[in-house]
Amino acid sequence: MHMHDIVAAESSHSSNAQDMDIATPMVSEANEDTDIMETWTSLSFTWAGKSFDLELAESDRVFDLKACLMSLTNVPPERQKILGLVKGKLPPDQARISDLKITAARKFTLIGTPAGDEIKDPSQLEFLPDVVNDLDVDFAENPQAAAAYKNDQRNIRKVKEATAKLQINIINPLRDGKRLLVLDIDYTILDTKPLTSGSLPPEECARPHLHEFLEAIYPHYDICIWSQTSWIWLETKLVELGMIGSTRNYQVNCIIYPVLDKTCMFTVFTERSGQPYSHSVKALQIIWNHFPQFSAKNTIHVDDLSRNFALNPPEGLKIHAFKNAHTEQARADRELEKLARYLIHIVSVSDFRTLKHKDWKHVLKGLPRP
């Protein structure tokens, strides 16, 4: 079995369908010409007295091997001890599978204790880089690095795999002729830390003028929330914030979130200052494959982390992170007021690819005051 369709050799699992409108993925024309023949390596391993089979592409990384093992055994990467796969120490996460020189039908042993299956709040999760890691990279300033990411054989395949796996909750119907706003949550429209800890009421964790912002842009944009947070936690907090289930003059159209082990983001690898560097990305092509009416021409992605734009730098607009919601300085934040003005200003542009969102605040200075 391939890594994009992992099933334990000894058993299969089924899950109950959720009561929601799930988008069916389509392959857009933009990706039809990116099919590349991959070379796959078959492996088998034992863990806790059970046997498992898997396949990895040569373009995969050691990181993908560990992720595959976790999906089969629930043993987190930091607890995995892999014996008999390579001579000596296993190379670092960014190493390619092709560089390991693994022989066909290789067998190895995995040792490690699985994690609990309980659903955790983001404050308890071990792998939420967008929440806990403030190290950022601006790929708009490095088109060569962005092109290398986009053309990487592994990343192309990961987009297709994510398209096939991803479930999108369509809360309200998408409307004809609207632009698409892809909106991050954590530290973009709310201060996550006091929200997850409960130290502040939800309404005080929201970025100032959140609802006014969404009401202003809704006539022109469908709103898609993209979060790496579990749906059970996310739905509760969005309701508490008044973003869904309220009588306000806007509606969130769709939400992208992880289902079970099927993450809606994937990790990419590069170098930063000569050192290996990895981070998660939000690939807009995944959305475009589900909804072909949207593309780079009419989509904008707002986030507080530029590295999330790695596969789509031109479509990204970075706003500064919203933190310390309890302070006077945070309550005076006007970032969403400014963003609303910019988004409304560019609605008349027929092709967003002609814009440089990096200069959005400079553009605002030339607009008349409201």
Claim to verify: residue 100 and residue 154 sit in the same structural domain: no
Same domain, 328 and 202: yes
- Looking at the fold, whether 181 and 245 belong to one and the same domain comes out as yes
Same domain, 188 and 107: no
Residue 61 is assigned to a structural domain of this protein: yes
Is 123 among the domain residues?
A: no
Cβ burial, residue 138 (10 Å; 0-12/13-18/19+) = middle
| Residues 211, 89 share a domain | no
Find the domain containing 355 and state its range.
143-366
Q: Tell whether 319 is covered by a domain.
A: yes
Contact 239, 270 (CB under 8 A): no
Kind of pairing, strands 40-47 and 275-281? unpaired
Task: Indicate the number of domains in the chain.
Answer: 2
Q: Decide if 22 is inside a domain.
A: no
Kindly report the pTM of this predicted structure. Answer: 0.72
136 is a domain residue: no
137 lies in some domain = no
User: Is there a single domain that holds both residue 181 and residue 52?
Assistant: no
Distances from the Cα of 347 to the Cα of 23, 175, 205, 296, angstroms: 26, 15, 29, 14
Within a domain: 7: no
Dihedral angle at the C-alpha atoms of 93, 95, 97, 102, nearest 10 degrees? -100
Boundary (domain end) residue, out of 91, 111, 131: 111
Judge contact between 123 and 132, C-beta under 8 A.
no
CA–CA distance, 103 with 252 (Å, rounded to integer): 50
Question: Is the domain of 208 the same as that of 292?
Answer: yes
pLDDT tens, position by position, for the chain (370 residues)? 555 444 333 333 333 333 444 444 444 444 444 456 888 999 999 998 899 999 999 999 999 999 999 999 999 999 999 999 998 899 999 999 999 988 777 899 999 888 864 344 444 443 343 344 445 667 667 777 778 888 889 988 989 988 887 777 888 999 999 999 999 999 999 998 998 888 999 899 999 999 999 999 999 999 999 987 777 778 788 888 999 888 899 999 998 876 544 466 788 887 777 787 788 889 999 999 999 999 999 999 999 999 889 899 999 999 999 999 999 999 999 999 999 999 999 999 999 999 999 999 999 999 988 7
